[in-house]
Amino acid sequence: MARPIWSGSLSFGLLNIPVSLMSGERRTDLSFRMLDSRDKKPIRFERVNADTGEEVPWKDIVKAFEYDKGSYVVIEKEDIAAAAPESHESVDVETFVDAASINLRYFEKPYVLVPGKKAEKGYVLLRETLKSSGKVGIAKVVIRTREYMCAVMPDGPALVLILLRYPQELVDFDEYKLPEGKPADYRLAPKELQMAEQLIDSMTSEWNPADYHDEFRARLSDIIKKRIKSAGATTKFEEPEPREDAATNVVDFMSLLQQSLQSNKRTPAKKASAAKKAPTSKQAPAKAAKATSAPKKAAKKAASRKAS
């Protein structure tokens, strides 16, 4: 049983649906380790000072940004903590848009939203409403230490959360030399276009992902299995016990929907979110206190990883 990345809530308007964020993909890449061909011992990668050649311990390593060739500015842990979003387990839908209005290039990585105990009614309510309206929810979500833009959309019995790329992450088509203009500009005859359409029609079928397999990985996996068998090597791994979701209370959805509709005349989502991001002078000290505590937590996590 897969473990949730986090357990929190999915909210829109005044409705709050307890959910767990689960991975929506399964990595099937084969991972290799580099060995010394002479004695088949693992290769170790060390952190070495480029000038002295000496190994550098983790405690003496700092992060820096190269703003010019060979010129760096050191970024302190406090700087990173201050820029990082506040860690919270929630998906707050800010607006709904037509599903067809999102260009495919924006979609990046899928997750599955699994309802918590006694949260099925709200889950189904949002899922079916999105299906019938053809809309998707646009939200922000924090995964580990980074904030992402995401889309919440229905897919069969599930609500899926798909991370979206920001516009600046996409390459502008103007950077490449692409053929623009009409087909006639490239001496394409109507007959050629007609024949191409006929060819596509003759090759058209229903999309069935199960028909496609990673044949290279399958063949390589067979080779690895034979090698393991000939060497007599075995390995064991025990899956950790999954944690259970917290129980939730029954919610009056009709009342919350009515309240959300009545309060929908407030400031638009963009302005509201901008107002949230601009802290007042009274709020600033509290945020600074949270920022300074973040490095200590990161240090404790790093220490626990080393100990394990």
**Rounded to an integer, what distance in angstroms lies between the CA atom of residue 219 and that of residue 225?**
10
Phi/psi of residue 70, nearest 5 degrees: 80, 0
The pLDDT of residue 245 is above 60: no
The pLDDT tens digits for 249-292 are 456 777 877 787 877 765 555 544 444 444 444 444 444 444 44
pLDDT the model gives residue 6: 85
Question: Which range (186-195, 226-235, 295-304) has the least confidence?
Answer: 295-304
CB 168 within 8 A of CB 152: no
Q: How confident is the model at residue 233 (pLDDT cuts 50, 70, 90)?
A: low
**CA contacts within 13 A on the Cβ side of 222:** 5
Contact call for residues 30 and 217 (beta carbons, < 8 A): yes
Mapped onto helix, strand or coil, the DSSP state of residue 152 is strand
Residues 70-115 pLDDT 10s? 888 888 888 877 777 776 788 999 999 999 999 999 999 999 999 9
- DSSP conformation letters of 186-204: GT--HHHHHHHHHHHHHT-
Share above pLDDT 70 across residues of the chain, in percent, rounded to a whole number: 78
What pLDDT was estimated at residue 210?
Answer: 85
Question: How far apart are alpha carbons 169 and 173 in whole angstroms?
Answer: 13
CA angle 255-99-138, nearest 5°? 55
pLDDT at 250: 54
